[in-house]
Structure 1
Amino acid sequence: MSIETIVIIVLLAAFIIWRLRPVKGIRNITTAQLKNELKDRNKQFIDVRTPGEFRGNSIRGFKNIPLNQLSAKAASLSMDKEVVLICQSGMRSSQASRILKKMGFQKITNVKGGMNAWI
């Protein structure tokens, strides 16, 4: 193997590890923990799946803001209240968490496993 190939592999591995690491300031909870938090009126529950996915199966109390619209619609969210994010598997809600964090939101919770774990 050439040195260039090794460098590329190392850089690729470092990038993947960097992308998968948890972001500081973002809380991760299970769906079991979510069940205990659903009645908290001081939290904003956001489902970042597509409208079709949301119509097919959703959790009462969640508002649908698709991931591709989150940046544009984030102004409709209160920065003072915790934002709880869910998607189908936890990947899009993790991305949404990063987006909101970069926008200055401080209280962000991601539901691990998403709707797949809820069912």
Structure 2
Amino acid sequence: MKYVILVLVVLLAIGIFRYFRQGTFLKTLTEEQFRKGYRKAQLIDVREPQEFEKGHILGARNIPVTQMRQRLVEIRPDKPVYLYCQGTTRSARAAQLLHKKGYQDINQLKGGFKKWTGKIKN
């Protein structure tokens, strides 16, 4: 029983560490902040294609997080990257991958697409 508790405490500590470390390289932007900058950036929807086709932010490219490693050549490291998914889980995962590959200016939409009130393309 002690070992189970120890393992759970260690896993929780790792999760907390990753969450706070993520804040050092990923900026979470409000919708207003996101709108101000995404037109000058690379706007990437990291959801799956069928989700993207049902509706996405106008001007977004679809690079699902599941394909991101293979499609990194499509993302310029010298320009800001604006990511979003349905919530924030997948965009955070995509941000970690980009950070590991040397990308610097990485941003995500707070609350994701489900909170977006701006223009969308269906």
Q: TM-score if structure 2 supplies the norm length?
A: 0.86
Query: How many residues are aligned here?
Result: 116
List gaps (5 residues or longer) in structure 2. 118-122
The answer for the alignment partner of 1:8 in structure 2 is 7
**Displaced runs of 4+ in structure 1, greater than 3 A?**
none
CA distance in 2, matches of 1:93, 1:27: 11
Identity fraction in percent: 34
CA distance in 2, matches of 1:114, 1:3: 39
Q: Which amino acid aligns with 2:9?
A: V
Is the 1:47–1:63 Cα contact (8 Å) retained in structure 2? yes
Is the 2:29–2:108 Cα contact (8 Å) retained in structure 1? yes
RMSD of aligned alpha carbons: 1.5
The answer for the alignment partner of 1:79 in structure 2 is 77
Is the 1:38–1:61 Cα contact (8 Å) retained in structure 2? no
Of residues 67, 88, 110, the one that matches 1:90 is 88
List gaps (5 residues or longer) in structure 1. none
The answer for the alignment partner of 2:98 in structure 1 is 100
Q: TM-score if structure 1 supplies the norm length?
A: 0.88
The answer for the alignment partner of 2:120 in structure 1 is none
